[in-house]
Amino acid sequence: MIGVLLLAAGSGTRMKGEVKDKLLQPIGRSNAFLLSCDAFLQASPVQYLIIVYKDDAQLEKLQSSFEELTQSHSVSIKTKIHWVQGGQERQDSVWAGLGELPEEVSHVLIHDCARPFIKSETICEVAELISQEKAVCVARPLKDTLRLRTNPSADPRQPSQTETINRENHWIMETPQGAPKKWLINGLSKARESQISVTDDIAALELVGHPVVMLEPNYPNPKITTPDDFSYATFLSQS
């Protein structure tokens, strides 16, 4: 059985207080949370969905929004839904979600709800690959020039020495990311035991030596991080 962890417990600190909850902020006629949920509910391989929330106040709003989505859904929803409170860091939220998955869930996709433009067909591709005992990440190759400031000052507007980094084989990570559940548990267990901070799920898998498949989408899959991102998100929702 394939399960999904939808992460909605982020603090949103880079919104700088301009947006109360970026996942519920309107994007056209919807929001990032509902767009993400809808994509996964329409992906037929997904049989179990855990939504990881921040606190009770957010949970009430998310559940109310989710109920509206399910009532308006044009098809019967067969996915089992469960709600779990997350932790302080992303890896804590993933760990909490993994712990609540039933034993029959053998493979897991993990997705940040702040990436609302993921498509169901991509989710199905990732699900198919992880069912073949592979670790998979939606990602795209770096196309811009990458440069390192070798002696950075406190103010980046001040001169400093730089070094150009070869961008070949550098990839930008996105979500969903997925793997057999036991691989994710082993990787996160090692990170917790060694007090290593991991910012995504592939980093945990790297700790236990699993190779990774990179799946490049042929469409934008941006993450909403700052208030400026909503302009682009609104544009994408209308295109």
Radius of gyration in angstroms for the set of CA atoms belonging to the chain, rounded to a whole number:
18
Residue 195 covered by a domain = no
Which pLDDT does position 16 carry in this prediction?
A: 66
Which pLDDT does position 77 carry in this prediction?
A: 66
Residue 205 covered by a domain = no
Sheet harboring 46-53: ordered strands across? 80-85, 46-53, 2-7, 107-112, 171-180, 135-141, 212-215
Element (DSSP H or E) covering residue 143? none
Which pLDDT does position 18 carry in this prediction?
A: 73
Residue 174's pLDDT band (boundaries 50, 70, 90)? very high
Which pLDDT does position 14 carry in this prediction?
A: 67
What CATH code is carried by the domain that includes residue 32?
Answer: 3.90.550.10
Residue 72 covered by a domain = yes
38-80 per-position pLDDT tens digit: 999 999 999 999 999 999 999 999 999 898 888 776 555 678 9
Of 82, 83, 37, 95, the C-alpha closest to 58 is 83
Which pLDDT does position 151 carry in this prediction?
A: 80
Of 201, 36, 50, the C-alpha closest to 120 is 36
Which pLDDT does position 198 carry in this prediction?
A: 95
Helix (H, G, I), strand (E, B) or coil at 237: helix
109-138 per-position pLDDT tens digit: 999 999 999 999 999 999 999 999 999 999
Residue 139 covered by a domain = no
Residue 203 covered by a domain = no
Residue 7 covered by a domain = yes
136-164 per-position pLDDT tens digit: 999 999 999 999 888 877 788 888 889 99
Burial level of 140, CB count in 10 A (0-12/13-18/19+)?
A: middle
Q: How many domains would you assign to the chain? A: 1
Looking at residues 198-205, what average pLDDT do you find? 96
Which pLDDT does position 73 carry in this prediction?
A: 65
161 Cα distance to chain centroid? 35
The residue assigned the tokens 């691989």 is 183
Residue 142 covered by a domain = no
Task: Share the mean pLDDT of the chain.
Answer: 92
pLDDT value at 178 more than 60: yes
* Boundaries of domain holding 228: 2-134+173-183+214-238
Residue 163 covered by a domain = no
